[in-house]
Structure 1
Amino acid sequence: MEVNTQGWTQDNHIVLAVSAGVDSMVLLHQLMTQLKDSYAQLTCLHVNHNVRDMAREEEAFLKQYCHKYKIPLYVKHLDLSSVIDKGNSIENEARIARYAWFDSMMESLNADVLLTAHHQDDQIETIFYRLMTGRSTRSSIGMSYLTARSGYKLCRPLLTIEKAEIRDYQARYNVQFYEDETNSQNQYVRNDIRNRILPDINNNEHLDVAQLIKLKEWHDEQRKEIDREAEHFISHFLQKNTDLQKYSVPRAQFLALRHSVRITVLDKVFDQLHVQPSFTEKTYNEWFHQLNSNLSQSRVYTTDKWIIHIAYDKFIIMANYDVSLSPIKIVQPGIYNYGHYHIDIKETISTIEYPLTIRTRKDGDKFVLNGINGHKKVSRLLIDHKIEHHERDQLPIIINANDEIIAVGTLYLQNKYSQTIFIKDLGEE
């Protein structure tokens, strides 16, 4: 049995996640015998999920086995009772809990590589599962031989070895193991795929489930190209304002991307921003539909932390910093901050202008046009300049002692104040 050892070196501390099943016990046997010179140190980790009658017996067996062969073993007990009581599937919850513990143990052990005993039959089952459950468009459809995790590598050295070969090895060397009785219970989706669906496919002489491995290879190549296109778009078109946590992409260029690349761009940006939970493809498609419409402005998603919206020619993701700004009175020159605006009132301004008031807009606000007779509504000014909805209520409006609007953000300033009032939008830096 040819185990792929390229994932670690002779000076590495490797750790094996061992379940007491035939796959991990055969891999452990290989590591103790034929592969004993391929690493510097070996440790075992075992998770007792406490959901099967045999779990205690398996744990006791592993403790005795590892003690006999002087292999350090660490055991984690999981409590999944709340998940079971709710009638939810424990598979995903158990996996999350397992790997959280693996992460912490790899750090505390200062270990280099975590090994799992996933084999080729597991790979085929995973590919089939991801294809049939719609999980094939946003990530790899199968498992990778080597995966980088936080501070260590995850390696699957049996990934190209068939289950039959593992069983042959077990029989040849009389490797002790425990059979998980739940593996034969087809109410679990993965078990049903393994025990019923894939064997039925292979019983047809014209079909071969191993062809799914070739599909994964092709799919991985396409994913790399999609990732390259997404990274190129992000590096060239993603506009960032880290102070305001505001990120935008040009609407037209984003819509010109292939559908799969659009999805990948959003996945990558949300991953960078740690936006949780991840969005479904259905949700993305609803956003794309709105982006393709004639809407000039629309909020597509809002939480207490994030706002995602369409604003004219941009698609924007930003922190939800909407706040109510109270009016402030100014009776002397100085520098004042209003929201994310910086307002500098010079000493040369006439004292008859005081007190100045800085406030947000009100219905019916009008200002005098510069250079021509007449007035213009503030609301019209905002539309003409395509000011985003969320920004309109943050825009500072300055009123003089005569209750005249003399400035509207950076959009308008009465000519006679051009050398005495200076307004800067810090959000544009």
Structure 2
Amino acid sequence: MNIYTQGWTENDHLAIAVSTGVDSMVLLDVLTTEFAHTYQKLTVLHVNHGIREASKEEEQFIRDYCEKHQIPLAVHHLDLSELTAQGKSIQHTAREQRYDWFETHMKTIGANVLVTAHHQDDQLETIFYRIMTGRSTRSPLGMSVQETRPGFKLVRPLLNVTKRVIRQYQVTNEVPYYEDASNTDNHYVRNDIRNRILPEIDENPQLDVSQLLKLKQWHDAQFQQLQDTADRFIQENTETEQERINIDRNAFNQLMHSQKTTVMDKLLNKWTKNQPISEHAYHEWFAQLESSAAQAVIYATDKWNIQIVYDKFIIMGYTDTDLTPKRITQSGHYQFGTYQIIIDETIEDADLPIVVRVRQAGDRFVLPQNRGHQKVNRLMINRKVPGYERDRLPILLNKQGEIVAVGTLFTAPNYEKKLEITNLGV
């Protein structure tokens, strides 16, 4: 059988995910016979989902098989009882838990390559599924023959091998396996695609499901161009300052919708890895960015927000910086959020303690040369301070309760040599 072996070397430790189905058992047989010389060590990983009676038999089967062939084996049991009791689908959760364990256990045993038995028919199913569920515009159309995961490489050696070839190999070499009865249940969308839809398409002599592979090749080339365009845009039109990303609003509005989506996916990836933003939300955000609004909050969560600030829009991540009021009784260096406050030794006892806090309703300070008072909020508006920053700016008050400094915006004349405030987040 012609399989993909370029994903590892003779010095690598392979871990193979084996369900005991025909695909993974054939791959295991191929790797331990014809291709045993291509790696240094191989370990079998088996996950018992515990939701079918046959799960126990399958586990015992793979234990006996590995013992007979002297192959190292690790078995992991999942507890999905809570989900099944609630009548919820377990496929997504089970997959996440499988791969979490794969990653953890591979580190334990020192394996650096995970191989799975996904084959060409699985690829066709995945392509069809992503097209028909609208998931083809923001990711590659199908699976990759290899990809990098945290701490290991994932390789699919059978991705260009058809199911028919796999079954022929099984018959010829008498490879034992267990058939998962749930694979015939068309209640699951992927099973329905695999068992009913794609075979019916193939029955029409004018149709050929393998054309989906050509579509994937074209799609992935276009997708890569989108990625490259987005990377160039981010490099040329954004500025990153710790937890804040400043984006040129006009330049962003000139992009096509697909380019905007890709740029946003990349910029938000730090906060949305497991919860991508919906297309509907993006449509609303893009409309706001194209509006005449000078300042507006587009979206906010407890981890990050997006705000329009005049000719830019800003993605701001929240940090665990301390904004609780501080009472300073002597000179020195102090931290307040992202700001550093230096109290000089020339500070007088009559000024201490200095209280540092965020703004409060009605805050006012005395203008230089006693030209009256100004509200702190008005100062922030005049100086075009972004909304997200207004509630983080340090306000300093002396012993008499007078505001003597408003962040980096204002310092009372008689305190200019006594105080120094710097925003370390800029």
TM (norm. structure 1) is: 0.86
Does residue 424 of structure 1 match 2:413?
Answer: no
Code of the residue aligned with 1:283 in structure 2: it is A
Q: What is the correspondence of 1:122-137 to structure 2 with a 5 Å cutoff? A: 122-137=122-137
Cα separation, 1, equivalents of 2:332 and 2:15: 64
Of 96-105 and 254-263, more deviation after overlay is shown by: 254-263
Structure 1 residue 143: Cα displacement: 0.7
Taking the TM superposition and a 5 Å limit, the aligned residue runs for 1:339-378 are 339-344=337-342, 360=359, 362-363=361-362, 365=364, 367-368=366-367, 376-378=374-376
Q: What are the superposed Cα offsets for residues 76-104 of structure 1, whole Å, 9 maximum, x if unpaired? A: 22221111111111111111111111112
Tell me what 2:164 maps to. 164
Distance 1:104 1:402 in 2: 59
Distance 1:347 1:317, change over 3 A: closer
Deviation larger for 254-263 or 354-363: 354-363
Given residue 21 of structure 2, which amino acid in structure 1 is its aligned partner?
A: G
Q: Alpha-carbon deviation of 1:159? A: 0.6
Query: For the residues of structure 2 that align with 1:30 and 1:335, how far apart are their CA atoms?
Result: 66
Deviation for aligned residue 1:424: 2.7
Using the TM superposition, name which of 250-259 and 315-324 deviates more: 315-324
Structure 1 residues 113 and 368, CA gap change in structure 2 (3 angstroms): closer
How far does residue 367 in structure 1 lie from its aligned partner after superposition?
4.3
Distance 1:400 1:79, change over 3 A: closer
More moved, 218-227 vs 387-396: 387-396
Aligned to 2:25: 25
Q: Residues 29 and 321 (structure 1 numbering): CA distance in 2 closer, same or farther, change over 3 Å?
A: closer
Aligned residues of 1:239 and 1:247 also touching (Cα < 8 A): yes
Task: Report if aligned partners of 1:10, 1:40 keep a CA contact under 8 Å in 2.
Answer: yes
User: Which letter maps to 2:388?
Assistant: H
- 1:116 to partner: Cα distance: 1.0
For the residue of structure 2 that corresponds to 1:37, the secondary structure is: helix
Summarize the Cα distance change of 1:407–1:211 in structure 2 as closer, same or farther, 3 Å threshold.
same
- 1:387 aligned residue: 385
Q: Offset at 1:29?
A: 2.0
Secondary structure of the 2:118 match is coil
Matched with 1:252 is: 250
Partner of 1:212: 212
Q: How does 1:31-50 map to 2 (within 5 A)?
A: 31-50=31-50
Match of 2:263 among 258, 262, 265: 265
Q: Provide, for residues 276-329 of structure 1, a one-character-per-residue CA deviation record: whole Å limited to 9, x for no partner.
A: 543333333332222222333333333333333333322222206687654858
Bigger Cα displacement from structure 2, 60-69 vs 397-406 = 397-406
| Matching residue's letter, 2:306 | I
Alignment map for 1:18-417 (pairs within 5 Å): 18-242=18-242, 245-272=243-270, 277-312=275-310, 313-319=312-318, 326=325, 338-344=336-342, 360=359, 362-363=361-362, 365=364, 367-368=366-367, 376-397=374-395, 407-413=405-411, 416-417=413-414
User: Comparing 135-144 with 344-353, which one deviates more in the overlay?
Assistant: 344-353
Letter of the 1:298 counterpart: A
Equivalent residues of 1:241, 1:427 under 8 A apart:
no
Amino acid across the alignment from 2:409? L
Instruction: Report SS of the residue matched to 2:43.
Output: strand
Q: Distance in 1 between matches of 2:225 and 2:346?
A: 60
For the structure 1 residues 217 and 327, does the alpha-carbon distance in structure 2 shift closer, same or farther, using more than 3 Å as the test? same
Deviations 1:143-192 (A, max 9, x none): 11111122221111111111111112222222222222111111011010
- Secondary structure of residue in 2 paired with 1:177: coil
Percent of pairs identical after alignment? 45
Letter in 2 for 1:235: Q
Offset at 1:214? 1.0
SS in 2 for 1:102: helix
Give the total of aligned pairs. 424
Q: Does the CA contact (< 8 Å) of 2:271 and 2:304 recur in 1?
A: no
How far apart are residue 399 of structure 1 and its match? 5.9
Amino acid corresponding to residue 384 of structure 1 in structure 2? N
- TM-score scaled by length of structure 2: 0.87
Greater Cα offset, 79-88 or 59-68: 59-68
Distance 1:329 1:46 in 2: 60
Query: 2: CA distance between counterparts of 1:276 and 1:180?
Result: 29
* Most deviating of 44-53 and 290-299: 290-299
Q: Which moved more, 1:85-94 or 1:40-49?
A: 40-49
Unaligned stretches of 5+ in structure 1? none
Report deviation, 1:50: 1.8
Cα distance per residue 1:186-225 (max 9 Å; x no partner): 1011010011111121122222111111111112212222
1:3–1:346 CA distance, 2 compared to 1 (3 A): closer
Structure 1 CA distance for aligned equivalents of residues 272 and 232 of structure 2: 21
Distance 1:43 1:322 in 2: 45
Query: Residues 263 and 150 of structure 1: is their aligned pair in 2 closer, same or farther, counting only changes over 3 Å?
Result: same
Q: How far apart are the structure 2 equivalents of 1:351 and 1:109?
A: 64
**What do you get for the CA RMSD once the two structures are aligned?**
3.1
For structure 2, list consecutive stretches of 5 or more residues without a partner in the other structure: none
Alpha-carbon contact 1:49-1:94 (below 8 Å) kept = yes
Equivalent residues of 1:291, 1:310 under 8 A apart: yes
Q: 1:105 to 1:404 in 2, by over 3 A?
A: closer
Aligned residues of 2:186 and 2:192 also touching (Cα < 8 A): yes
